[in-house]
Homo-oligomer: A and B are copies of this chain.
Amino acid sequence: MHNEAFALRLSNAIEQQDFEQAASQIETLRPIDTADILALINPTLAWQLLQRLPNRSTIFSYFDVDAQVAMALKLPREQMAKLVGEMPADERTDLYKSLDQEQRDALLPALAQAQREDIRRLAAYEERTAGALMTSDYATLSAQMTVNQALEALRLEAPDAETIYHAYVIDAARKLQGVVSLRVLILAAPEQLISDLMVNDPVSCNVNDDQEDVAKMVARYDLIALPIIDEMGALVGIVTHDDAMDVASDEATDDFHKSGGVSTMVGRLKDASITVLYRKRVFWLVFLIFGNLLSGFSIANFEEVIAANLVLVFFLPLLVDSGGNAGSQSATLMVRALATGDVVMRDWFSLLGREALVALLLGATMAVAVAAIGYVRGDAIVALVLALSMVSVVLIGSVIGMSLPFILNKLGFDPATASAPLITSISDASGVLIYLFIASKFLAIS
């Protein structure tokens, strides 16, 4: 309750128009922490304090987009335009995209023309691409500059650029020629030329690349920022390390959710409405009902052997689940390895052989355990049926679990989607079939 109590004290101070006291309460906080507190206060009150803070646009940028919209709509048009104009270009575009047409029409004319064009350009890129993630606040240099001229240029660009630690060298057509770090610049002699210091042919991504590939590249090359170029090789933006880290975390959450049979959710669990939670879960639950009916039909085919040997039902959940469990284990390992780039398609064949061997060992271990219990509750034949079924069920489940993510990937689907629920349902049905088939061969029908 710490933040809530803090927010209450703060809103009391603001209501009493005691802005000095209010400001002193938050002056030691970082912008993101201030944003978390202010988000708990009535937007009109919060704005009274926020507008007095020198770093108001930074704090405002840390609000959830919903909170940004809520506050922006309460402001007079010129104040809103000023605040939005001060935001970083990528955050500003995200806010713009959350407004409805009427709100956009109110905002745009109040902004400077360069900002209007910037918003239109950035908002045009598809969601989840490099273009939608990048910012246009970066620092550029030209190859003919000396170090002294470059440092002077960076001083001028510093107030607006998200980073000046990497500066991008472009020609007259904005084609990306190289990158030079501030570390190199301050170590170099003042009269050295940028063209002699820059790294040629720097790592870059295309503006239409998937944001996940952007994040992987930032991680692989330990970059502070990754330049983004268009089809002509012209520099159009950069993605900074912190935005890449957020993407990597969101993508991991997505994969995690999907593998648990939950569809992709935008936003935080705590804020999700009941309808959103219902919608994102109902599909797989109902789908799996039909998957399980397959198991039911297998059972219907073997009703006589079940009626004659009711002990089979005792072991049914166990055998069915074991195949599904082994399968979802293999799928779990594979989905994450595909996501982090650890394994690629051409590894499938070599991994399949190893997986079969591991599954045989696992199946044998489990067969020993289950046969012992089968012998106690049934007889030697029941034990044999259980052992044979267990080995087959675990083997089939694992091979399905290992192969399905690859197949989904090959077909162009995200391997995380539905792997686990699909695999559980397929291996459950195969498990029932194998178990009852083996039982019908060994056990008397009446």
- Interfacial residues, chain A to chain B (CB-CB below 8 A): 1, 28, 30, 32, 151, 154-155, 158, 164-165, 182-183, 186-187, 201, 203, 218-224, 240-242, 244-246, 248-249, 252-253, 255-257, 259-262, 268-270, 274, 277-278, 281-282, 284-286, 288-289, 292-293, 295-296, 299-300, 303, 306-307, 310, 313-318, 320-322, 325-326, 328-329, 331-337, 340, 342-343, 346-347, 351, 354, 357-358, 361-362, 365-366, 369-370, 373, 394, 420-421, 424-425, 428, 432
Contact = CB atoms under 8 A, between A and B. Distances in A.
Contacts of A322: 285, 288-289, 292
Nearest to A281: B329
Given A219-B245, A257-B336, A343-B270, A186 B155 contact: yes
Nearest to A270: B343
A292 B343 CA distance: 33
Contacts of A218: 245
A318 B154 CA distance: 65
A317 B428 contact: yes
Contacts of A425: 321
Given A249-B252, A270-B337, A365-B286, A260 B329 contact: yes
B261 A252 contact: no
A361 to B, nearest CB: 5
A370 B248 CA distance: 39
Contacts of A333: 257, 260, 262, 269, 277
Given A288-B322, A295-B318, A342 B268 contact: yes
A332 B261 contact: yes
Nearest to A335: B256
A306 B270 CA distance: 43
B289 A369 contact: yes
Contacts of A1: 346
20 contacts: A158-B186, A219-B242, A222-B242, A224-B241, A241-B242, A248-B249, A256-B332, A256-B335, A257-B336, A260-B331, A268-B342, A278-B362, A284-B329, A285-B326, A285-B365, A286-B365, A286-B369, A292-B317, A296-B314, A296-B317
Given A224-B224, A318-B292, A361-B274, A261 B328 contact: yes
A291 to B, nearest CB: 8
* Most B C-beta atoms less than 10 A away, residue of A203, A318, A420: A318
A285 B332 contact: no
A362 B318 contact: no
Given A281-B326, A317-B432, 12 more contacts: A165-B182, A259-B332, A261-B329, A262-B329, A262-B333, A269-B343, A274-B361, A285-B322, A286-B366, A286-B369, A288-B321, A299-B317
A277 B318 contact: no
A315 to B, nearest CB: 6
A269 B342 contact: yes
A370 B285 CA distance: 12
